A and B are shown apart, each in its own frame.
Chain A
């Protein structure tokens, strides 16, 4: 399968949505949950403040009223408990969709995720599975300081048995969330909170555009899913390949547009499973590869991508693979825009890759 096929696949999916209804990412997530609560009586939505109140980001607003208190409910403040009971519910046969209020607060639940949910299928030889989708807002750009800004995706991609999904548009958020919920493996579904309401370009001092001005905010009302493991072609170009996900897709796109660069930008959408075919096809065509993520650099997912690209496309490469990332420090508060891997850092890397 080539990158072109990926693009075609996306177009077909989008063709299903004929209406021009435009919604933001929160609404898209809410809709996916609503649809799945209706379609599958085994789904359960739970987490801190998700019930009556509808979540601190409003992603579950109205769902308790609609589906009842035993389908959508608040939990004690215990991430270990939230993930642990989701494993138990999965063992019964339910399909829990727990929310962790911020990705930064997922750590107390790691033992249940890493030692339990991720390995249950394997260690019980499929006697039991953990078909849960853990939703959690992640990433920075909202002056949230070090405990409301982290991007810990690489901790999860490092664990055998977990899938990691990160949408970058309302259309994808809905389709990927539905696919994640239906998936029988535990899925970490990280929602880039900075782009809940609009596609942030990284130019923090420019006004933020709302989603309704973006083509991918056109979202069909009904059920649809986007398969896990298929990247999205954001722009086509011959000068270089850009691999990104979440907020950084939009930042990379804006920088390339700003610089007049014709880049082949791939929104990876899912880190595990990874669309290696699309990556390989693109890099072999352009011969140059930039990887962008907001997470810290060392042992970040970019390291994995860089290794894969080098292993598989070495003889096609015309420049070393470059990574643009957050710095290897805790996420600072006042220096947020100095930390964020914004247009300047990305621009420099592009110049370096294209130099000769």
Chain B
């Protein structure tokens, strides 16, 4: 071969001069299918233990918060320590209601996908607090840049269930015109950015929105959510750099649910440090919180929001939680992780913990819980029925064909006009029975 380097490492490795042979480390999770699970080595600290610094604190003066774990709810279901947000019973009931609704919604949509009503769905089971509680600590007009697992934000912001289902079914009621994969919502009205399938792209965008708000002397801040696996993408690191350089009024929420499809968090660097500790190298405030503790999630977001709103800088928050279900409807986690993990997770279930807390403080009981669960299930069922009137995912007959060509540009150029005519011509041949009035027309 003519090449000097022929793509063959050729000579034996250079291990002369008494230098030791190197060895590659490849991370390995604590357990694989069938293995027993033991989380004893996971230090979760104690509720109420972490100090709550002033919101203007310099990042370097609160390093412990990037390594410890902010927890409020104790094993006895009482709230402890300086991070207790001391929410009113009504706010707690609202929060629990949203979390229960998210769970009921996920159950039903997952089943809908299995029944062939749509192509895809993603649950957030076990992570409800990280979106519901956190977003409740923001103002409703603060801008959010979520990933695909923050349906809790939309529900907490009162986005109608039927709109969500229309989108999931890609039906003719879908405000996104059947263009996006299910759950890739968008609602400007709810200050909820259009979700991208490309991981971590939303993180610098959130920083940019926050910079814009600061440029204009606005009072709204921005927050973004990103999975721990996705923090490996360059976009996330650009977000951190821009956030610190411009002291942007932004909150970077990292949802560490331990898994990124089949890859455990070690493949994003968790074997050697925490995700919150990433903040320190960038000069951002870093908080690490129990993501299954709804009160801690609220408190951390509130702290970061106050900080940002007072021009005191950005915050990176790691939510330590667990993805209780598969990655998506396309995934079967029994192929790569032990089913026991979910049961053994040391920080429990966020919905149950909040419920027990409210019972413990005398503001809730099992009967009301049951009634609420039933009401959620019924509301979702009713919304599903209503949405189904607009159709379920089919073979391209729900949206007028011309909508496929709209919005590529603000105006339709000649070539897209021609292509739209082609599509309409094809429709008449491919789906001759379909009357234009069905919404399938030109």
Residues of A within 8 A of B (CB): 40-42, 48-49, 51-53, 56, 69-70, 73-81, 90-95, 104-105, 107-108, 121, 126-129, 131, 143-148, 184, 204-205, 297-298, 327-330, 332-339, 342, 344-345, 348
Contact = CB atoms under 8 A, between A and B. Distances in A.
Given A184-B3, A338-B401, A93 B8 contact: yes
B370 interface: no
A85 to B, nearest CB: 11
Contact of B119 (A48, A81, A143, A298): A143
Nearest 10 interchain pairs by C-beta: A147-B197, A334-B178, A145-B181, A131-B7, A93-B9, A76-B232, A53-B262, A334-B170, A143-B119, A78-B232
A327 B5 contact: no
Interface stretch (B205-213, B282-290, B420-428): B420-428
Interface of B: 1-10, 24, 26-28, 32, 119-120, 170-171, 174, 178-182, 184, 196-200, 229-230, 232-235, 260-263, 267-269, 330, 335-336, 393-396, 398-399, 401, 403-405, 408, 415-416, 419, 422-423, 425-427, 429-430
A336 B6 CA distance: 44
Contacts of A297: 415, 419
Contacts of B415: 297-298, 328
Nearest to A72: B26
A126 B396 CA distance: 51
Given A52-B262, A327-B423, A337 B181 contact: no
Nearest to A79: B233
Given A334-B393, A336-B396, A105 B263 contact: no
B337 to A, nearest CB: 9
Contacts of B235: 108
Which secondary structure dominates chain B's binding surface?
A: loop
A49 B263 contact: yes
Given A146-B180, A333-B180, A334-B170, A74 B9 contact: no
Given A48-B260, A69-B28, A127-B5, 20 more contacts: A52-B336, A69-B26, A78-B233, A93-B7, A108-B198, A108-B235, A129-B7, A144-B119, A145-B197, A146-B197, A204-B395, A329-B408, A329-B416, A330-B179, A333-B119, A333-B179, A334-B171, A334-B394, A334-B398, A335-B404
A154 B198 CA distance: 20
B267 A74 contact: yes
Contacts of B120: 143, 145
Given A128-B5, A335-B401, A107 B10 contact: no
Contact of B5 (A70, A126, A143, A147): A126
Contact of B199 (A70, A77, A327, A342): A77
Given A76-B268, A328-B419, A338-B427, A184 B7 contact: yes
30 contacts: A41-B9, A48-B263, A70-B24, A75-B267, A76-B229, A78-B232, A80-B233, A93-B5, A93-B7, A104-B198, A105-B198, A108-B235, A121-B3, A128-B5, A129-B3, A129-B6, A143-B119, A147-B181, A184-B6, A204-B395, A332-B404, A333-B393, A334-B171, A334-B174, A334-B394, A334-B396, A335-B396, A338-B404, A339-B423, A345-B422
B402 to A, nearest CB: 10
Contacts of A345: 422, 426
A107 B6 CA distance: 28
Given A75-B267, A108-B235, A146-B197, A333 B178 contact: yes
Nearest to B1: A184
A342 B429 CA distance: 12
Nearest to A56: B261
A332 B198 CA distance: 16
A94 B24 CA distance: 14
Contact of A56 (B200, B233, B330): B330
Nearest to B199: A77
B426 A344 contact: yes
A95 B396 CA distance: 43
Contacts of A184: 1, 3, 6-7
B335 A53 contact: yes
A126 B178 CA distance: 49
